[in-house]
Every structure is written in C-alpha cells, then in structure tokens.
Chains A and B, each alone.
Chain A
C-alpha cells in the first residue's frame, strides 16, 4: 500500500495527523510531512495510514495499492 499526497491540495488541518501521528505530521510551518513518501507503507502502519487518509476533509490523500 502506498499513499499519494497532493501537497498542493493540503490545507494543513492535521486531521490525518490526529488519526495517524506516526505516519503524518505537520511541521511548524504547517507543511505536511509524510513519513513514507515514495515507499510502501510498512504493514504495522497501514491501518492507521488508511484511517488518516480517509479523515482528510479536502481529499488530499489517496490510497493506492
């Protein structure tokens, strides 16, 4: 499982971080840091990552298999 982040869409709400703090983090500038950029999400983080992606109110996070 991979997650594609549309950084242009992201508005920095942090609802993803709220659901999955080990996967998504917002830095002090409000920029999203996605821990597994360009890699497969490790198995132990997949459920949380999917939950975080689904919480985004602007649909900036896509889950791709």
Chain B
C-alpha cells in the first residue's frame, strides 16, 4: 500500500476507542497533515467498559468515562458517515457534506444485537444514553429480565442485585462459558446464584408484551418469564451498512481485512467492526484491548512506518458478583485449568493440546496483564 503522504489528510470514521487511538497514534507518529474524526455520537470519545459498571450504578457521572482529549484533531460529532467512494476517496456524511481523504481509518465499531417484540421496555446497552436510561430504571427498583449470559448480561445482572432489584437471567448456553470455559464460568454462575439471580437455561423463542405492557420472554419449552424491564445482551453486530455500494468486503460478519488491517488502497480498519483473519476464517474480536492494538497497527500501516502484521494479544476482563476476572490468551474448553500459587485470589492456567500454556486468568488477584502474560511465556 502506498503510504499516506506526510501532509496528507487522514479521515477516521468512528468515535470510540479505535478511532481515538488511531487519531492519537497519527499525531504520536508525527503525521503533519490534517486529521478529521467523524462520529455519529454527540459525545467525544469515551470508554464503554464503565457503562455496565460504575456509570450504570450511578456512582460515576457520564463525563468520567471520557477518554483523554485529542489534540490537533478536527472532531465532526453527531454526524454519521453514510457512504464511501474508494475510487474518488470521499466519505459522504448524513448532512450532505462530502469529505475527501488521502488515508482512511474505518472504526465504526458495532451496535447491540436486538430481539424483535416485547414492547418499549426492552433495552440494550451500548452508549452513554443507554447506560443512563437503564441505570435510572434499575435504581428505581424495576424487576429485571436479562436475556443473554455473556459478560454484558451477567454484569448488568450483577449491578441489578447490587441495587437490590429482582433479576432473572435467561441464557441458552451456560453463562460465561463461551469466554471463560466450563470451570471458571461455572464459578461465576455459582456466585450469581448465591447473589440471588435466578438463572433459567433455555433459548428465548420470542419476546412478547403482557397486558400491563411488561416484556415477557417466551422460552423454547413454552415457559414465560417477565420483568418490569427487559435487558437484551445477545452480542453485537458490526456497523457496516454505510459501506454498502463501496465494493469493500463488508457484511454481517464484519469488515474483512488482511493481517495488516488493510482493506483497500489508502484504507485500513480497526476495532469491533473488523473481521480479522484466523484459522477458521475472518473473525471479530470485539474487546477493548483488541480495538486499541489494532488501531495502533492500522495507523503504522497507513503511514508506512511499520511493516509488522497485527499480532492479536487477547485480553478480557469482567467484574461481576464481587469477582474481578482477568484473562490473557484463551481458555481450553471443558478442561480443568491448573491452579498456580497466588498471593491473593486465584490464578489459573490452561494448556493447549501440545502442552504449551494458552491462557491464564487472575480471579480477585492483583496480577497485571503484563505479569499474567509472563505465565504464558514461562512453563
């Protein structure tokens, strides 16, 4: 890819950690040309992880989640991009403007997947507005029906119990198992149950509304579970619709990139929108660390200042039911992990089929990501 000239205009579409990191990296690498960040949100870039935690409980004000201010970057906020012409090198905005670029970073992330039906008391959680609205309802004591046993569903269930609301969580698979495996996932399920969450293991076949307007989940076995409000956390889907007609390889599974995060001449991508090449085809890794790392590499590639492919370094964490779990690498299915001595809390390590360590987790344990990674290198 021909690098963007030193005085070239770089446009970043997106307004969260991938976009902000790309903007900052451009300046850190001494890029002298204009940098424009286009975001559909009215807020400047902020961190999403606190939204299901301290912002939801109301402990933290929304502004506390703002990322450090970007210097030397033109922010176009509250205006979505609606089209891309890679041949003319222009981005079309919803207000009719067209913005030309020499280099483009696509960082439009993802949005919450939804379930049809259930009426107007069915919520998802992706942005600050969602967190304020849902948090307020939960603090008023609304009985909560959570659909989805991933980290978001479990974290919100946890906040619900902390606030003293009744919580029922419906999940077709064992909660947290996909990310943390049967062993560690099972520990969190035990903690959730002990905290008073009623966990129902069934697929939801349909969302309905009862006569009082309350949302009801109709389960595959015919049972009905209701709540004053429903919170649906069944994953996220990539924001790629604005790329329709651009000729780029974008679809429901994400925007396909190569291992250098290149999309087309002069175009790179980073974050939740990206489907990155893996053994089993291109896959999205919608987590904070991945969005951050990809943005750094994408900018190096765009400027021609780095020639190393993106090397995924998975890191995931969650806080729920009084536990703080950090995981580097990945867990191995149903295998019981080995437990390593720890000064506080628990450290677990998983080994792959060839015996080499592939994942390490700290549970209520103060080991930082750097130290957890060392557990993967040694052994």
Contact = CB atoms under 8 A, between A and B. Distances in A.
Chains A and B bind each other? yes
B317 A13 contact: yes
Contacts of A17: 368-370
Interface residues of B, number: 34
Interface string B54-68: 100000000011111
B28 A47 contact: yes
Nearest to B369: A14
Interface in A48-64: 50-51, 53-59, 61-63
A15 interface: yes
Interface stretch (B45-53, B122-130, B222-230, B244-252): B45-53
Contact of A13 (B20, B46, B368): B368
A13 B81 CA distance: 34
B69 interface: yes
Given A26-B366, A58-B47, A58-B49, A63 B69 contact: yes
A18 B369 CA distance: 8
A32 to B, nearest CB: 9
Interface size class of A (residues with CB under 8 A): 20 to 34
A30 B28 contact: no
A44 interface: no
Contacts of B28: 47, 50-51
Given A13-B369, A15-B369, A57-B288, A63 B49 contact: no
Nearest to B30: A47
Contact of B46 (A15, A21, A31, A59): A59
Contacts of A12: 366, 368
A31 B343 CA distance: 14
Interface string A19-33: 001000010111100
A59 B369 contact: no
A14 B370 contact: yes
Nearest to B17: A57
B346 interface: no
B282 interface: no
Interface string B232-254: 00000000000000000000000
A15 B68 contact: no
Nearest to A62: B68
Given A13-B368, A14-B368, A62-B68, A55 B47 contact: no
A11 interface: yes
Most chain-A Cβ atoms within 10 A of its Cβ — which of B47, B68, B326, B344? B68
Nearest to A3: B68
A53 B70 CA distance: 12
Most chain-B Cβ atoms within 10 A of its Cβ — which of A15, A62, A63? A15
5 contacts: A11-B317, A12-B368, A18-B370, A26-B370, A63-B68
Given A30-B368, A63-B69, 6 more contacts: A15-B288, A15-B292, A26-B366, A26-B371, A59-B46, A59-B64
